[in-house]
Structure 1
């Protein structure tokens, strides 16, 4: 079982509550984008870098390591892929994604 993300210092929280630890991890540059890009299929680190607008390899690898440690992604024969926990997290984004689409239409309409 992966080590809980709360084992790390959590920005903006002295308590390190699970929700704060999750928001801290997801709020780091490229974390959400990586999860989004892996939503349909596995990608190699090179393909992920291209999908993430040529993110710095160092930063990208750091995020991949953090997301692996948290149990959201795994590295397999075909590259990085969402784990069952990662797919569950992705599913929780979908209502927010729908809201963002409706919000954008209101802003532009």
Structure 2
């Protein structure tokens, strides 16, 4: 269930809303290789402001794509890994696309 809505369409719309926020997909992309502590995640994601990262992490946790790691930091959930796989496919497509 995403965003508390039980309809499939509402779930997907909520997912799109969150992933459409600036930096959200970058956070998922950076976490694709494993858990990272907050400051390292911030640096690897391009140095976004601390407040923006806090907000994005809260949103991604709310839709169950990211979770807190007990030892500190953040990692993708199984659903988050699924999104990261789709981003990887998009990156592969982009790399193979002809220029222009």
* TM superposition score category, shorter chain reference: 0.7 to 0.9
Question: Which of 60, 67, 81 is equivalent to 2:53?
Answer: 60
1:30 corresponds to: 23
Moved over 3 A (4+): none
Distance 1:41 1:52, change over 3 A: same
Shift of 1:6: 6.0
2:73 corresponds to: 79
> What does the per-residue CA deviation read over 1:29-79, in whole Å, with 9 as the maximum and x for residues that have no partner?
110010011011111110011112210100110000000111011111141
Quote the Cα distance in structure 2 between the aligned partners of 1:97 and 1:17.
27
Quote the Cα distance in structure 2 between the aligned partners of 1:6 and 1:24.
14
Structure 1: runs of 5 or more not aligned: 8-15
Matches within 5 A, 1:14-29: 17-29=10-22
In our comparison, the structure showing a higher alpha carbon Rg is 1
Quote the Cα distance in structure 2 between the aligned partners of 1:39 and 1:85.
11
Quote the Cα distance in structure 1 between the aligned partners of 2:3 and 2:87.
19
Aligned residue pairs, count: 96
Quote the Cα distance in structure 2 between the aligned partners of 1:42 and 1:89.
16
What do you get for the CA RMSD once the two structures are aligned?
Answer: 1.8
